Homo-oligomer: A and B are copies of this chain.
């Protein structure tokens, strides 16, 4: 069994790239993950193994990646990429070192313990392992076959936000890849909250808006074109399950932050408008300096010079999180705007960023 201090698949004896599998490749995040991995410079010649998820009708004996995600079709239809039903045997036969799980949270919670017992490292894109506190995790209604082991793994799991936990990710065995909404808000808030400048008693308001891919690939009344197009709506007010990540990562209590998600009539992209008060009147330049220092070694965060603000079109199809802000004349009331692509920095791009860290590669490898 590998020890957690080695980088994946890159022991001294062999510099071969890790053998990677992706479970749950049929969804949007799975498709983007496949796209990123197939063109990843460090994985040339090491094509990942693509797997379905449990109980999935879309993945059968002759499913191909190109049939699930036609935009992945390479020239010449001959070399189609197979997608297999999920099985531990196939994972063992393929000598997989690292497993991405783009699966529903119930499956991630069930499969991760076995994966880890089999010596795999795991990057899980679901919400199953992101939350340390039981009350925050309640919203997912997770059931553990082996509660003791699950608790142990939960403690070991590293929240996969490279900008906050870069070193821990490098040596992690289990990375819980953050939620899309959470990433946009945590990256916008962490620098200021950590300085203690934010008036937490006043509370923080996050008004966040996401494109339709955030609702997943299932055809439902709310993902119907006739519902989403030319429309805009709020949902899950006071109750979105990404809230727990805000509380834990920013060390806030439930009455210090609230977050309202909305559905935008666009395919991809999240923009969060965040309202807070500073404890004392502050100059924009001082705020800029705090952000710049915090993200000095974080190439995936782009900072805007106040009063310029980011917008969704400039982050779509990138792995960047763009952040800008404005201060009121009083130097206290502040609006931060944060944007990212929910399928990339909000999901699969961040997962590859975590892979890069775990493998000792450049953090941006395959993401520019």
Binding site for B on A (CB under 8 A): 28, 39, 70-71, 73, 75-77, 202-203, 205, 207, 209, 212-213, 217, 219-221, 223-235, 237-238, 255, 258, 260, 262, 264-267, 269, 271, 273, 275, 299-303, 305, 307, 309, 311-314, 316-318, 320, 326, 328-330, 333, 335, 337, 364, 368
A231 pairs with B326, CB closer than 8 A: no
By beta carbon, the residue of chain B nearest A262 is B273
Given A230-B313, A230-B316, A258 contacting B328 (CB threshold 8 A): yes
Given contact pairs A224-B225, A235-B309, A237-B335, enumerate 5 new A-B contacts (beta carbons under 8 Å): A77-B305, A205-B275, A209-B209, A225-B225, A231-B269
A75 pairs with B267, CB closer than 8 A: no
B267 pairs with A229, CB closer than 8 A: yes
B230 pairs with A219, CB closer than 8 A: no
CB < 8 Å neighbour of A309 from B77, B203, B237, B309: B237
CA separation between A130 and B356, bound complex, in Å? 46
B231 pairs with A313, CB closer than 8 A: yes
A271 pairs with B233, CB closer than 8 A: yes
CB < 8 Å neighbour of A232 from B75, B312, B317, B326: B312
CA separation between A301 and B326, bound complex, in Å? 34
